[in-house]
Chains A and B, each alone.
Chain A
């Protein structure tokens, strides 16, 4: 095997304003090898691949190809050097056919007109490289994400890419689709294509990676073989050992005080007949497939949506229907599914974002309590270990995990006693995940209660005391977490379908 790398980033650095995001990192991509980039959000992975794609230029250090230092001032030059990037957001024109997309910018012409025959032939040739056999006249819109991704890879290969950068290609794929992608990757490996692969799923690394470069805070940490055990990788990534992925002390003692009582809750076309209770100190997980109505139930309790039937009682008092304000007054805190769209005002400061739920109640004569708010926010940020350089910094610039902690922090400021969590660790990296779990423990230990909706079964199993499984808008069953297994949950969640998850 050729030991000469296709491309090497040698000791590169990059700063944006005062912040140095890459501090002397070196990575090489070898022909026929999959090099994995691993690191938490904000570790510098995307800046590195943007250097190879010609989007960013290193401040110092070199990009070496064939023993020569090269400069990649723009994406076009990068392409000319045989480097192609498959981004998370795909660069395809949905309203054009596969053939047109594959040949975009290089459309074959005859007498000044599009040579359709040649267009289709070349596109078919490109698809054949990755064993894809779909009609090249199909519109890209009609394809699923996975197939669109493959079309993009075919497009990259048709311009003779030697180096393929795959930025979290599996994030939006099902297990089955991921397997198909990996077969394609295997095939490309045999054809001598070098690949740089980014993924948050640690289990995929062993499956596909030849070598792993670990980054932390913009610094090179280690380069280890792909077969390195997961907990070892996590340790390198986070910088400390994580003893337990799910630090929940399962509590079996029955609790006296009832916090939440949902009875016969129903909402047209969303869910029906939902009844359950949550006691102080308890974490109740709600599992189920996407679309089973979990989020809708949570939103109904939180007052975000109205419901048609049934009632919600908090500490034996009825809760007004469809009023977020009433829910907050009753001690409910809602961490919504999509923090960027529903949780945060991204242009506002960390301070402001922490304070929205308490803005009204801490005010005097309609005037906002600025100094009080700031000191409360600072203390909560410290407790939750929200990593930032200034509480007045826009929350947009924080990593996903720290943003999520800020949404939690808002409810801690509001002294909420019942937290409704919707996918609480989505897009959050390993280190911050555990911190969020510990926070959940602290809340329940202090007498609070939590209802958690999550699509990550290990999380539901690991953190809940009880698990409700929803299917088609109804509760299909309840399991004690100590006895629950993935199989048991999935049987309840998808009695007639065995696809996915």
Chain B
């Protein structure tokens, strides 16, 4: 094969390749265009801000999930961990009168610790992450209910600030952008991030190349827990209250966002930008269908179809790459 011809054709803009690599983004744009035509309320400043706020929880959860999925695992506990972290924070604030900042940090530390336990069980206990985190899904939700006795608890003002505004800009959007930058930086620029791709792509090859695979797995789950805690605090902050049943089922939204964003559940592939687009797709669908006053039953149908389409595009991409 001659190198010259290939280089020339690579420089040409390949529409098919672009579509295959950015299916989610194209889907999102089509979705937005459709909603723009269908309702004048969609493309307004306030509604876009509103979408930004609503996407923050799912997106932050999904960033953490991206680490795990890139490293070849899955974390089913993020929704419960989000609820537990927010609950611990509020419980400490209301119950033991610690300062709001400490309550906020305690929430984050809770998520981190629970994530690390997930990682330890999965890496050293040799349980598949699916099972380890399925157990944690139940344990963390149970602990949330134990702590709260099934009742919502008011959040610390510092946590509520996360759900408020900084000047004209909603804090959830600031937190979202900051965590996207941090997550993207971690995944793309650091040794840790590059190692995640290697571990997810082929854990044995990574180990034989001297990468500390088990330690990486623990850190990855710890990060997922930390991001889940942040998402939980964001959600609680927006409601001014930590809810015992908060973020139930959000793990599936997070996984959907990551998959729509082009990651492979087999590991080794995935981008933060893709995940962000994936989360936006989910939220824009819900927002749009609300604007159009469509019942939530149809929302679920539509979201299911979008996930199927996204995975279909993933399969198509593999085909073109492996040919």
Q: Which residues of A contact B (CB under 8 A)?
A: 16-20, 217-218, 302, 304, 324-325, 327-328, 334, 336, 341-348, 352, 356-357, 359-360, 363, 366-368, 370, 389-390, 394, 396-397, 410
CA distance A390 to B6 in the complex (A): 10
Chain B residue contacts of A347, Cβ below 8 A? 201, 264, 268-269
Residue in B3, B7, B206, B207 whose CB lies within 8 Å of A304: B207
Expressed in whole angstroms, the minimum distance between the Cβ of A462 and any Cβ of chain B is 27
Contact of A341 (CB < 8 Å), options: B6, B204, B206, B268: B204
Interface set, chain B 235-275, CB cutoff 8 A to A: 264, 268-269
Stretch from B37-45, B148-156, B158-166, B186-194 at the A interface: B186-194
From B7, B206, B209, B320, residue with most partner A Cβ within 10 Å: B209
Verify B195–A359 contact, CB threshold 8 A.
yes
Instruction: Give Cα distance in the complex from A334 to B197, angstroms.
Output: 21
Minimum CB–CB distance for A361 against chain B, Å: 9
Residue numbers in A under 8 Å from B15 (CB-CB): none
Of all chain A residues, the one with the shortest Cβ separation from B193 is A368
Measured between C-beta atoms, what is the minimum distance from A419 to chain B in Å? 13
Interface residues of B in 136-193 (CB under 8 A from A): 189-193
Residues of chain A contacted by B5 (CB below 8 angstroms): 18
> Cβ of A344: which chain B residues have Cβ within 8 Å of it?
202, 205
Complex contact A360–B191 (CB within 8 A) = yes
Q: Looking at the complex, which one of B193, B201, B212 makes contact with A345 (CB distance below 8 Å)? A: B201
Whether B206 pairs with A345 at a CB distance below 8 angstroms is yes
Interface of B is mostly: helix
9 contacts between A and B (CB under 8 A): A16-B323, A17-B323, A217-B1, A304-B208, A324-B209, A336-B208, A360-B211, A368-B189, A396-B322
- Nearest Cβ distance between residue B203 and chain A, in whole angstroms? 9
In angstroms, how far is the closest chain B Cβ from the Cβ of A257?
24
Interface membership of B311, Cβ < 8 A: no
Most buried by A among B195, B205, B320: B205
Residues in B neighbouring A304, C-beta threshold 8 A: 207-208
* Cross-chain contact A345 with B194 (CB below 8 angstroms): no
If A16-B323, A366-B192, A368-B190 touch, whether A352 touches B10 (CB-CB below 8 Å) is no
Residues of B within 8 A of A348 (CB): 197-198, 201, 268
A-side contacts of B205, CB under 8 Å: 336, 341-345, 356
B186 CB → nearest A CB, Å: 9
Asked whether, in the complex, the Cβ of A19 is within 8 Å of the Cβ of B6, the reply is yes
- If A18-B6, A363-B191 touch, does A356 touch B206 (CB 8 Å cutoff)? yes
Q: Are B9 and A18 in contact (CB under 8 A)?
A: yes
In the complex the two chains form, is A18's CB within 8 Å of B10's CB?
A: yes
Please indicate the chain A residues that have their CB under 8 angstroms from the CB of B202 in the complex. Answer: 341-342, 344-346
In the complex formed, the residue of A with least CB distance to B266 is A347
Which residues on the A side are within 8 Å of B320 (C-beta)?
Answer: 17
* Contact present for A19 and B197 (CB under 8 Å): no
Q: A304-B207, A389-B7 are in contact. Are A368 and B191 (CB under 8 A)?
A: yes
CB–CB A356/B210 < 8 A = yes
> Given A217-B1, A348-B268: A359 and B194 within 8 A (CB)?
yes
A331 to nearest B CB, angstroms?
Answer: 12
Question: Judging by beta carbons under 8 Å apart, are B190 and A302 in contact?
Answer: no
Q: Are A20 and B1 in contact (CB under 8 A)?
A: yes
Q: How far is the CB of B322 from chain A (nearest CB, A)?
A: 7
Whole-angstrom distance between the alpha carbons of A328 and B320 in the complex?
37
- Which residues of the other chain, A, contact B211 by a CB distance below 8 angstroms? 356, 359-360
11 other contacts beyond A18-B9, A342-B202, A363-B190, with CB at 8 A cut-off?
A304-B208, A325-B212, A345-B202, A345-B206, A345-B268, A346-B201, A348-B268, A360-B211, A366-B190, A366-B191, A367-B191
Find the B residue at minimum CB distance from A365. Answer: B190
Which chain B residues lie closer than 8 Å to A341 at the CB level?
202, 204-205
Query: Is B194 a contact partner of A324 (Cβ separation < 8 A)?
Result: no
One digit per residue, 1 when the CB lies within 8 angstroms of any chain A CB and 0 when it does not, for chain B 87-109 equals 00000000000000000000000
The 3 closest A-B pairs by CB, nearest first: A345-B201, A356-B209, A18-B9
Q: Provide the residues of chain B in CB contact with A328, threshold 8 Å.
A: 209-210
Q: How far is the CA of A367 from the CA of B193 in the complex (A)?
A: 9
**Residues in A neighbouring B191, C-beta threshold 8 A:** 359-360, 363, 366-368
Q: How far is the CB of B36 from chain A (nearest CB, A)?
A: 34
Identify which of B1, B189, B212 contacts A218 (C-beta below 8 A). Answer: B1
Q: Is the CB of A324 within 8 A of B207?
A: yes
CA–CA, A342 and B207, complex, Å: 9
Bound complex: CA A347 to CA B317 (Å): 13
Please report the C-alpha to C-alpha distance between residue A363 and residue B195 in the assembled complex, in whole angstroms. 12
Q: Which residue of A lies closest to B186 (CB)?
A: A366
Neighbour of B321 across the interface among A327, A390, A394, CB < 8 A = A394
CA distance A346 to B206 in the complex (A): 11
Using known A-B contacts A366-B190, A368-B190, A368-B194, determine if residue A389 contacts B210 with beta carbons closer than 8 Å.
Answer: no
Interfacial chain B residues near A217, Cβ < 8 Å: 1
Shortest Cβ distance from residue A120 to the other chain B in the assembled complex, whole angstroms: 41
> Which residues on the A side are within 8 Å of B212 (C-beta)?
325
Cα distance A372–B198 in the bound complex, in angstroms: 19
Query: Which residue from chain A places its CB closest to the CB of B192 in the assembled complex?
Result: A366
Known contacts: A19-B6, A324-B210, A344-B205. The answer to whether A352 contacts B194 by CB under 8 A is yes
* Distance of A26 from chain B, by nearest CB (Å): 20
Q: Give Cα distance in the complex from A348 to B264, angstroms.
A: 13
Closest chain-A Cβ to B46's Cβ sits at a distance in Å of 40
Complex interface: chain B residues within 8 A of A345 (CB): 197-198, 201-202, 205-206, 268
With contacts A346-B201, A359-B195 taken as known, whether A410 is within 8 angstroms of B209 at the C-beta atoms is yes
Closest partner residue, chain A, to B4 (CB atom): A389
A397 to B268, CA, bound (A): 16
Cα A16 to Cα B1 in complex, Å, equals: 12
Interchain CB contact under 8 A, B189 and A367: yes
Does the CB pair A324–B3 fall under 8 Å? no
Q: Give Cα distance in the complex from A274 to B1, angstroms.
A: 47
In the bound assembly, the distance between CA atoms of A444 and B155 in angstroms comes to: 67
Interface residues of B in 1-48 (CB under 8 A from A): 1, 3, 5-7, 9-10
Distance from B67 Cβ to chain A, minimum over Cβ atoms (Å)? 15
Q: CB-CB < 8 A to A396: which residues of B?
A: 321-322
- Residues of B204-228 contacting chain A, CB below 8 A: 204-212
Q: Assuming the A-B contacts A18-B5, A341-B204, A346-B201, are A325 and B268 also in contact, with contact meaning beta carbons closer than 8 angstroms in the complex?
A: no
Contacts of A410 in B (CB 8 A): 209
CA distance A345 to B211 in the complex (A): 13
A324 to B323 CA separation, bound complex (whole angstroms): 35
